[in-house]
Amino acid sequence: MTDARGPGLAAHRHELIRNEARLRGFVRVAELARRLGVSEVTVRRDITALVDAGDLARVHGGATLPAPGAGGGPRRPLATLGMVLPASRYYYRGVVAGAEEAAARVGMRLVLAVSRYDVAEEARLVERMLRAGVDALLVATARPPHDEPPRWFASAGVPVVLVERRADGPDAEYVRTDHAAGARLAVEHLADLGHERVGLAVRPTTPTSSWLVDGFREATRTRGTAVAGFPPVGLAIEADGIAERDRRLADLLRRCAETGTQALLVHADEDAVSLLDLATDHGVRVPEDLSIVAYDDEMAALAPVPLTAVAPPKHDVGRAAVDLAVRRLSLGPAAATQQVTLLPRLVVRASTAAP
């Protein structure tokens, strides 16, 4: 066991102790002494220096992260996390809230930028954050990486966690919702109600849509569940305008009538609510004539007929992304790569019933 007191060794220990506190929220003297290979006297001296710097607060047997405002002023953030998302509202509002909560818990600062689904803008924002000195990046890429990390990934030089995206490889860490499982959950719910035919309608430009189509096809090919009344339908995007939106939704109702399909999974909530309104105008009752499951659960509960919905764990995605970044900052490159998949849940309301 050594008690090296050189400034370089002490600074290295201080950084390791800070990282451990970020990860766990506290440190213990005896445990640190064993891990660092130094005496408990040395660890206490290190903790004293970090307490004096405002990085830690002393407690019996160790130290914790200081409470906000401790020492007469705001706590200095132990690290800065840069978050780049394609949007900050609707779906990603919950992701941001979860990330903010997790970052605050460990005394880190979260900085947000929005790419508006523009790949070039995303690259510019990532470069700007790296120049500003962020300690880690949390990124939902403007376009799905299709199992390959984005071009800037390898040269980032800081830990990167992909958010609601997936990329293969030993260095790609991500947190994502299993949207395919969400589609299966909806189909199974409708089949349990007695529906033999179900349909799927998605906005084809969203990253979520391909996973929903995969899950829907898998679920409707499984023996003992409902079958697809017709192939997945692409809905209008925002740029198409209201008239085109209503035309495609009316066509969706027509397909349901022609195929005897009385149950639908619709992504996203806005389209599900618009479909409900249009169905009412056409004399189609929900849920008596048509059961609707919305996907996202952002506004489904506020529909005239509260919509049953699949709810991705948005807050948990944000929290888990920060936790992954903190873990990587604490343990360094030796830590095993983590690729985290979270399951959505079904929230049953008034829009689904037996056919």
Contact call for residues 326 and 22 (beta carbons, < 8 A): yes
Q: How far is residue 208's CA from residue 70's CA, in Å, rounded to a whole number? A: 43
Query: In the prediction, which pLDDT does 54 show?
Result: 87
- Report cis status (omega within 30 of 0) of the bond before 77: no
pLDDT per position as a tens digit, 24-48: 677 889 988 988 889 999 999 999 9
- Those residues with Cβ within 8 angstroms of residue 147's Cβ, 6 or more apart along the chain or in another chain: 166, 167, 168
Residue 266 — φ and ψ, nearest 5°?
-125, 125
Query: In the prediction, which pLDDT does 144 show?
Result: 79
Q: How far is residue 184's CA from residue 283's CA, in Å, rounded to a whole number? A: 29
Q: What is the mean pLDDT of residues 106-130?
A: 93
Q: Which pair of tokens denotes residue 270?
A: 């806005």
Q: What is the mean pLDDT of residues 192-206?
A: 95
| Burial environment of residue 151 by CB neighbours within 10 A (0 to 12, 13 to 18, 19 or more) | exposed
E runs forming strands in 268-353: 291-295, 308-311, 339-342, 345-347
Contact call for residues 349 and 309 (beta carbons, < 8 A): yes
Amino acid (one-letter) located at 340? V
Q: Write the CA distances from 284 to 58, 97, 150, 299, 303, integer angstroms.
A: 66, 38, 45, 21, 16
Residue 228 has pLDDT above 80, yes or no: yes
Q: Write the CA distances from 105 to 92, 267, 328, 341, integer angstroms.
A: 20, 33, 17, 22
DSSP letter string, 114-137:
E-TT-HHHHHHHHHHHHHHT-SEE
Contact call for residues 195 and 291 (beta carbons, < 8 A): yes
Query: In the prediction, which pLDDT does 1 show?
Result: 46
HSE-up of 105 (CA within 13 Å, CB side)?
15
Number of residues that make up the chain: 355
Q: Rounded to the nearest 10 degrees, what angle do helices 269-281 and 242-259 cross at?
A: 70
Q: Which pair of tokens denotes residue 229?
A: 């009344």
Contact call for residues 278 and 247 (beta carbons, < 8 A): no
Number of Cβ within a 10 Å radius of residue 260: 10
pLDDT per position as a tens digit, 132-155: 999 999 999 998 766 677 889 889
Q: Which pair of tokens denotes residue 122?
A: 């995303």
Query: In the prediction, which pLDDT does 163 show?
Result: 97
Any idea which residue has 């903010």 for tokens? 100
Instruction: Name the DSSP class of 88.
Output: S
Q: Are strands 233-234 and 263-267 parallel, antiparallel or unpaired?
A: unpaired
Average pLDDT, the chain: 90
Any idea which residue has 């199974």 for tokens? 188
pLDDT per position as a tens digit, 258-308: 999 999 999 999 999 999 999 999 999 999 999 999 999 999 999 999 999
Any idea which residue has 């969706």 for tokens? 252
- Which pLDDT band, with edges at 50, 70 and 90, does 8 fall under? confident
Query: In the prediction, which pLDDT does 2 show?
Result: 47
Contact call for residues 215 and 183 (beta carbons, < 8 A): yes
Can you say how many angstroms the Cα of residue 133 is from the centroid of all Cα atoms in its chain? 24
